[in-house]
């Protein structure tokens, strides 16, 4: 992994090393690789830097100094995990082990990054990964998720309060009045959606039920939701979309899919748990995720069908424009996935403290008329089993991410979980 995120590193040496020149002599070989990876030497009196911070354990005898520095750092970055950079000489590793043990006793998460030498390519990959992990953590602490209306009534296991989301994962929940958004949808002029309509229709392989008026209304919904994102400075949003279907006879399916394709994570049904999972996966992995229902499963084959009435168009091979499945109203998107590797993710628990992960392969896309429009059959191959969903479910909506990422997600979770 090549790190594109600037970060700070604080060298910490014992009192037996008299000055900065002495520190430089010990870690001289590491300074150029650190700079090449985006690292900047950070003095101890600037621990409030917003950049990810690594503590470079130069020598032994530094345990109390690192604990002091991390305590000062936490005044500006409360809850931030502590990453210790260790090397093979001057008792760096023994000191790192002692410090991390104490931090974990105190409930502070962290990790030791061990470099076997200045040319340790695997070690530098770990450094780059750690910096990205910290940047993702920091992003989530600052993220703003718009909740347009309340969560849908049927999400009985997926209705955390704003304070729970904030304490567990970091994002600020910004309430948005659904009635105001509905009025904004109706006020969008046709001239504002001409380009969206043309692109949506031209790229589709087929248009079944939706009329030109229904396609126009779906595009209006996209424009209105994007205006909310811009006005509220949102990083993501989730919408109580069935109310829009019932009251306006249109859908958010295109709007949510298009916003996600543009890098603005958009969840369905006011589901904050799934929207946090979507945002985390997108920021950590750089892959566009899909939120869907596990509609059918086969324990013997370890397969399940996922289905939902919309999908980001960038992650499917082709798509057709359909009606919304449950209501027959408006516009839904029926996308076809390519066969290939995927990871499934679900967060849950009263305090969003639990996780289910599994890797698998998409076997085929479906076109059943008794399921939501976009359908994908997945065989699980590693991690969770489909039987888990019957015995210990964390909720309905499940996140599909292209590619195999179980170890990456789990490692982030296991390092950061004391803060989530």
Residue 2 predicted with pLDDT over 50: yes
Give the span between the Cα atoms of 402 and 314, in whole angstroms.
11
Average pLDDT of every residue of the chain:
95
Structural domain includes residue 1: no
What is the per-residue pLDDT for 158? 85
Q: How many CA atoms lie within 13 A of 300 on its CB side?
A: 0
| Chain centre to alpha carbon of residue 93 | 32
The whole-model pTM stands at: 0.95
Residue 30 predicted with pLDDT over 70: yes
Q: Are residues 63 and 162 in the same domain?
A: no
Q: Are residues 194 and 115 in the same domain?
A: no
**Domain closes at, from 79, 108, 142:** 142
Q: Are residues 176 and 318 in the same domain?
A: yes
Residue 132 predicted with pLDDT over 80: yes
Q: Are residues 136 and 228 in the same domain?
A: no
* Residue 91 lies in domain: 7-142
Structural domain includes residue 2: no
For residue 11, report the phi and psi dihedrals to the nearest 5 degrees.
Answer: -70, 130
Torsion of CA 411, 414, 419, 420, to 10 degrees: 90
Residue 418 predicted with pLDDT over 60: no
**Domain closes at, from 126, 142, 158:** 142
* CATH number of the domain encompassing residue 72: 3.40.50.10940
* CATH number of the domain encompassing residue 403: 3.20.14
- Write out the two tokens for 106: 């105190």
Q: Are residues 231 and 358 in the same domain?
A: yes
Residue 205 predicted with pLDDT over 60: yes
Q: Are residues 126 and 197 in the same domain?
A: no
Q: Considering only CA atoms, which of 213, 415, 182, 208 is closest in space to residue 323? A: 208
Three-state SS for 87?
coil
Q: Are residues 71 and 165 in the same domain?
A: no
**Domain closes at, from 115, 142, 169:** 142
With both helix axes pointing from N to C terminus, report the angle between 121-142 and 406-416 in degrees, rounded to the nearest 10.
70
What is the mean pLDDT of the segment spanning 135-139? 96
Which of 159-163, 233-237, 257-261, 385-389 is the least confident region?
Answer: 159-163
Count up the domains in the chain and report the number: 2
Give the span between the Cα atoms of 17 and 26, in whole angstroms.
10
- Write out the two tokens for 44: 């101890």
pLDDT in tens, 208-261: 999 999 999 999 999 999 999 999 999 999 999 989 988 999 999 999 999 999
Q: Are residues 151 and 172 in the same domain?
A: yes
pLDDT in tens, 303-336: 999 999 999 999 999 999 999 999 999 999 999 9
Residue with tokens 């209304």: 217
pLDDT-based confidence at residue 420 (cuts at 50, 70, 90): very low
């Amino acid at each position: 992994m090549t790190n594109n995120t600037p970060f700070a590193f604080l060298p910490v040496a014992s009192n037996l090393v008299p000055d900065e020149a002495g520190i430089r002599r010990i870690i001289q070989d590491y300074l150029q690789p650190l700079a090449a990876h985006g690292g900047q030497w950070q003095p101890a009196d600037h621990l409030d830097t917003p950049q990810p911070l690594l503590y470079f354990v130069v020598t032994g005898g530094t345990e109390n100094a690192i604990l002091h520095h991390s305590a000062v750092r936490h005044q500006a970055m409360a809850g931030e995990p502590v990453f210790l950079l260790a090397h093979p000489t001057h008792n760096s590793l023994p000191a790192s082990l002692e410090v991390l043990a104490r931090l974990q006793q105190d409930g502070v998460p962290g990790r030791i990054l061990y470099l076997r030498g200045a040319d340790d390519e695997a070690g530098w990959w770990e450094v780059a990964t750690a910096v990205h992990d910290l940047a993702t953590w920091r992003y989530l602490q600052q993220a703003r998720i718009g909740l347009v209306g309340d969560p849908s009534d049927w999400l009985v296991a997926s209705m955390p309060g704003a304070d729970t989301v904030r304490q567990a994962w970091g994002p600020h929940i910004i309430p948005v009045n659904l009635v105001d958004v509905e009025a904004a949808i109706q006020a969008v002029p046709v001239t504002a959606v001409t380009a969206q309509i043309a692109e949506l229709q031209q790229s589709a392989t087929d248009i079944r039920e939706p009329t030109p008026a229904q396609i126009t209304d779906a595009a209006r919904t996209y424009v209105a939701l994007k205006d909310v994102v811009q006005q509220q400075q949102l990083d993501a949003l989730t919408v109580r979309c069935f109310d829009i279907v019932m009251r306006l006879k249109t859908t958010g399916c295109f709007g949510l899919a298009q916003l996600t394709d543009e890098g603005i994570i958009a969840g369905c049904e006011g589901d904050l748990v799934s929207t946090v999972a979507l945002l985390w996966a997108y920021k950590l992995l750089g892959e566009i995720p899909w939120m869907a229902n596990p509609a059918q499963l086969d324990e013997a084959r370890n397969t399940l069908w996922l289905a939902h009435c919309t999908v980001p168009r960038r992650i499917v091979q082709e798509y057709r424009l359909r009606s919304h499945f449950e209501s027959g109203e408006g516009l839904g998107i029926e996308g076809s996935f390519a066969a290939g590797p995927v990871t499934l993710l679900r967060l849950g628990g009263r305090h969003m403290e639990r996780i289910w992960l599994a890797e698998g392969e998409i076997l085929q896309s479906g076109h059943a008329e008794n399921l939501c429009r976009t359908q994908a059959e997945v065989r699980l191959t590693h991690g969770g089993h489909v039987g888990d969903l019957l015995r210990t479910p964390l909720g309905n909506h499940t996140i599909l991410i292209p590619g195999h990422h179980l170890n990456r997600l789990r490692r982030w979770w296991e390092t950061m979980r004391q803060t989530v």
